[in-house]
Structure 1
Amino acid sequence: MIVLAFAGLGAGAVTTYRVTTPDPGGLACRPGATPLARLELLFGMGRKEGGEVSDAEWRAFLDTEVSPRFPDGLMVLTGDGQWRSSVSGRAKEKSRIVEIWYRPSTDSEPKIEAIRSAYKGRYGQDSVMRVDGVSCVSF
């Protein structure tokens, strides 16, 4: 549990947030399917100083940061993202979406956040978007 206190809200004002990992156990799946946590990480391919993360750099990042943490498998999708920038209006950027289905464990959260931090640090990104969910999966 993370507890944040905001001084500007007055004495004793505390807001509590519980950080949770998706619980696939509560999902009713069809016979033969297994409930798994689903993670989507969205990586912008632009660099703050200009240019883009190359395909070779991206593959190296996957090989060194993502695959060792989630060796059971993943999927990478290529896309074109856009968002509203407070500085320049609409911004566009090539992107990669990594989808991972996994069984949550005590080390899932640190692994995910290590991937996000590594990418932001290596390529000067402000953020790596994270989407969590639960899916019924069969092979």
Structure 2
Amino acid sequence: MAKMHGGGLLRRCAPRNDSLFLLSLRAKRSNPHPLWHSRVALFPALLLFLTSCAMPGETVPPSACLLPAQKPMLVAELFFGRNIPGRAPVSEAEWADFVARVITPNFPDGFTVFDGAGQWRDPQGGAVVREPPKILLAAAYPRPDLKDRIAATIEAYRARFPQKSVGVLTRWECGAF
């Protein structure tokens, strides 16, 4: 079984069906044009590889974690823009209140917040907008309500500080605390 490492997520890839490979070999033998048959052989092999890998929504298998104490965890990074149209940016006091009232209850096992120096392109005018975001990094054990807690945090920020969006990245990792 082949192993592939990508973005901190160890995925196990194994062929599920050899029939595509056999079809590609048959095409190779029956076609006198080597360039054409190599492309024909490559497509089924690529398709087989892609369908045999773990789906992005699956967790890391516990056996894939490097250290004995590590367990599969979901790592969420949320990017909270602080610029608000028509008023001053979100202040440190407003942010501290949001952390106390929203983030702490949604991530009671812990999290880290740090300042960033971000920018994005305005889709309407094309101008580059620079914005100092707050970045939340939280690693949590998979529980049924985790998705809802992440969504509630995003929606609470968007409602309190009129934002078009809150950036969010999620990935499965191995962790221990």
Per the normalisation by structure 2, the TM-score is 0.63
Aligned to 1:10: none
Aligned to 1:28: 64
The higher radius of gyration belongs to: 2
* 3-state SS in 1 of match to 2:132: strand
Whole-angstrom distance in 2 between the partners of 1:129 and 1:41: 6
Residue 58 (str. 1) matches residue 95 (str. 2): yes
* 3-state SS in 2 of match to 1:41: strand
Whole-angstrom distance in 1 between the partners of 2:90 and 2:143: 31
Is the CA contact (8 Å cut-off) linking 2:80 and 2:166 kept in structure 1? Answer: yes
Q: Alpha-carbon deviation of 1:104? A: 1.5
Residue 96 (str. 1) matches residue 134 (str. 2): yes
* 3-state SS in 1 of match to 2:147: helix
Same amino acid, percent of matched pairs: 32
1:74 pairs with one of 105, 111, 118: 111
Say how many residue pairs are matched: 120
Whole-angstrom distance in 2 between the partners of 1:39 and 1:21: 14
Which runs of no fewer than 5 residues in structure 2 stay unpaired?
Answer: 1-55
Deviates more, 1:105-114 or 1:23-32: 23-32
Q: Deviations over 1:92-136 (max 9, x none)?
A: 111011011001211111111111011011100100011000122
Amino acid across the alignment from 1:29: C
- The structure in which a higher percent of residues are strand is 1
Whole-angstrom distance in 1 between the partners of 2:102 and 2:112: 15
* 3-state SS in 2 of match to 1:67: helix
RMSD: 1.8
Amino acid across the alignment from 2:136: V
Taking a change above 3 Å as real, the CA distance of residues 70 and 82 of structure 1, as seen in their structure-2 partners, is same
Counterparts of 1:1-139 in structure 2, within 5 Å, are: 23-25=59-61, 28-32=64-68, 33-88=70-125, 89-139=127-177
Is the CA contact (8 Å cut-off) linking 2:158 and 2:164 kept in structure 1? Answer: yes
Q: Which has the higher contact order (CA 8 A, sep 6+)?
A: 1
Amino acid across the alignment from 1:30: L
Whole-angstrom distance in 1 between the partners of 2:94 and 2:155: 16
Is the CA contact (8 Å cut-off) linking 1:37 and 1:104 kept in structure 2? Answer: yes
Whole-angstrom distance in 2 between the partners of 1:66 and 1:25: 28
Amino acid across the alignment from 1:79: G
Whole-angstrom distance in 2 between the partners of 1:125 and 1:59: 18
Per the normalisation by structure 1, the TM-score is 0.79
Which runs of no fewer than 5 residues in structure 1 stay unpaired?
Answer: 1-19
Aligned to 2:52: none
